[in-house]
Structure 1
Amino acid sequence: MEGTLTSPKRAMPTDARQIRSRKALNSALLALLEERSFDQLTIREITARAGTGYATFFRHYPDKEALLSDIATDEIGNLLAMTVPVLYESNSYESTLALCRYVAEHSRLWSALLTGGAAAIVRVEFIRQARALVEEARTTPEWLPSDLGVVHGTGSTFDILAWWLGQENDLDAKDVATILHRLVIAPLIGDKVEKRAPAQ
């Protein structure tokens, strides 16, 4: 292990060269995650792909887990842009399926985020960002506090996706969408009808 787990909340650089280096490192890790699992990657491979010096890496991050946590902040934002509306849309099954397909298409990245060394940090960040979005979302049913609905919905979504990516199973996006919809989404929004997307 090349370092210890660190918080994703880090001071952002303001110098143009530092910003370029940081973006290059982020892009390099994302590209490498499409090829191999996070545990197999080394800092030297990341810096070589980024075109930055080995020492440059440590001016930004103490270890590769910190880099992954930094990336997680942006990627979680992208996923939550899909997840939070799922909790309030009438076509909830179709939205849930779209979410699961997105994760499946980027499975190496999300496996690293949801089941890797930074998983605990990622989960906290996942829920933190979701809570920040609650003011923009439609309110939950009267019996359910809005904040609790978001924490439960996003936390449970995280846990189910993490279980899916962390297991050796034959479940595809449709299977997981059905599980997620029945266990979490439908009970949360009171959607009793499972609206399946047309077969493709």
Structure 2
Amino acid sequence: MATKIERAGERNTIDRRVARTRGLLQDALIALIPEQGYAAITVDDICQRANVGRSTFYTHYADKDALRSATIEAHLRSIGRRREAASQETGSRLFEFSLPMFEHAHAFRPLHHALLVSSGDTIHDELRERIRRAVREELVEKRIGDRAMPAEFAIQFIAGAFLAVLAWWVATDMNLSPAQADDLFQRMAGKGIGA
């Protein structure tokens, strides 16, 4: 099971010790979410898992929610790097965010399972909003879909469908690779918005 965020390039922008400590704290949070659920995790739990003191934690983050936001941002940067690499390889894919998300969910399956089944959790809501934003950017940038359909309707439809499929795929033991799951999503999404 993968429990560490791919952080290529981050160490060049901040002090190595700071990057290492933040990485330990973020990785601790990632490891704890599937075990306890985000709401039940305390700063003490995170510090114990990361093997750092509370004062060190508070040197880097104001609270658990600030760590959560930084962790999500680190994951999104990781996914963004995969997305850029995938878009260079595939060129004209309908929704470029989906394959890197399926790959990331596959690599971090227990984490994504915990995130996707905890509806109503703030971390789940933040993930849902990030997906909506990615869909919105791609629909607007590529001018995809039926012009008679309100753009926000299409955004909600695609984001909701993607999250439902992702949650189902993560929760089941389907023998679908990330690429196969993405291919099915791409075909259904394209039909759904008339692309």
The Cα of 1:53 is off from its aligned counterpart by 0.9
The alignment covers a number of residue pairs equal to 168
The Cα of 1:28 is off from its aligned counterpart by 3.3
The Cα of 1:140 is off from its aligned counterpart by 0.4
Change in Cα spacing, 1:160 to 1:61, as seen in structure 2 (3 Å) is farther
Alignment correspondent of 1:131: 136
Partner SS state of residue 57, structure 1? helix
Say which structure is richer in helix.
2
**Unpaired segments of 5 or more residues in structure 2?**
1-13
Structure 2 CA distance for aligned equivalents of residues 77 and 130 of structure 1: 16
1:81-160, aligned counterparts within 5 Å? Answer: 82=83, 89=93, 99-116=101-118, 117=121, 118-132=123-137, 137-143=141-147, 144=149, 149-160=154-165
Q: Please give the per-residue CA displacement for 1:148-196, whole angstroms capped at 9, x wherever unaligned.
A: 544532342123212443x4x3323347446534542443353xxxxxx
Alignment correspondent of 1:8: none
Structure 2 CA distance for aligned equivalents of residues 153 and 164 of structure 1: 16
Change in Cα spacing, 1:111 to 1:50, as seen in structure 2 (3 Å) is same
Q: Please give the per-residue CA displacement for 1:34-88, whole angstroms capped at 9, x wherever unaligned.
A: 9x5352865434323434212333451433x5523431233235446649969x5
Structure 2 CA distance for aligned equivalents of residues 129 and 98 of structure 1: 12
TM-score by length of 2: 0.58
Match of 2:35 among 34, 37, 43: 37
Query: Which structure ranks higher in relative contact order (CA pairs < 8 Å, sequence separation ≥ 6)?
Result: 1
For the 8 Å contact 1:29–1:46, the answer to whether it is kept is: yes
Alignment correspondent of 1:173: 176
**Unpaired segments of 5 or more residues in structure 1?**
1-14, 191-200
Change in Cα spacing, 1:128 to 1:99, as seen in structure 2 (3 Å) is closer
The Cα of 1:106 is off from its aligned counterpart by 1.8
Change in Cα spacing, 1:67 to 1:79, as seen in structure 2 (3 Å) is same
For the 8 Å contact 1:101–1:173, the answer to whether it is kept is: no
Partner SS state of residue 122, structure 1? helix
Structure 2 CA distance for aligned equivalents of residues 19 and 101 of structure 1: 25
Structure 2 CA distance for aligned equivalents of residues 99 and 171 of structure 1: 17
Structure 2 CA distance for aligned equivalents of residues 37 and 57 of structure 1: 21
For the 8 Å contact 2:128–2:159, the answer to whether it is kept is: no
